[in-house]
Amino acid sequence: MLARRRAAPTIAGGPDRFRGTLQRWTIDTGPLADTAFDLAFNEDWSLTWRVVAGVAQGDAGRARRFDVQPVRVQLFIVAFPIAGELLTVTVDFASRRFVGFRTGPAVCLPVGGSVRVL
């Protein structure tokens, strides 16, 4: 007997848990500790960011695209370019924490901290 293929489960909220939201990410681990960003995840999958605390306070920019991969309910992998590097993090809305890496041609920095939807 042949086994039936099951449809992949969908995760409530999925990528739309980000689109259309403004979030504050406060880094509290790694070399970028004490830095906070306001991130606007736009409906068109672009992202605007502004540093609201830390050494680079006042810096701002825009990424043409962000990507989200749901892992399970309230747990997501998010990636987007920021200041010429790539930020890839796992966001856990249940614990309000994120952890990941900021990488570039000559850098690989661990980041971790808290996330809050504004």
In a domain, 109, yes or no: yes
If phi over 0 gives left and psi between -120 and 50 gives alpha, with beta otherwise, what is residue 31?
A: alpha
In a domain, 8, yes or no: no
Which structural domain, as residue segments, surrounds residue 87?
A: 14-117
- Rounded Cα distance between 57 and 32, Å, is 12
Tell me which of 7-11, 53-57, 99-103 is least confident.
7-11
CA angle 67, 57, 88 (to 5 degrees): 20
pLDDT digits (tens, 9 = 90+) for 27-43: 998 888 999 999 999 99
In a domain, 107, yes or no: yes
Contact between residue 73 and residue 11 where contact means Cβ atoms under 8 Å apart: yes
In a domain, 73, yes or no: yes
Model pTM score: 0.83
CA angle 59, 63, 69 (to 5 degrees): 125
The predicted pLDDT at position 75 comes to 94
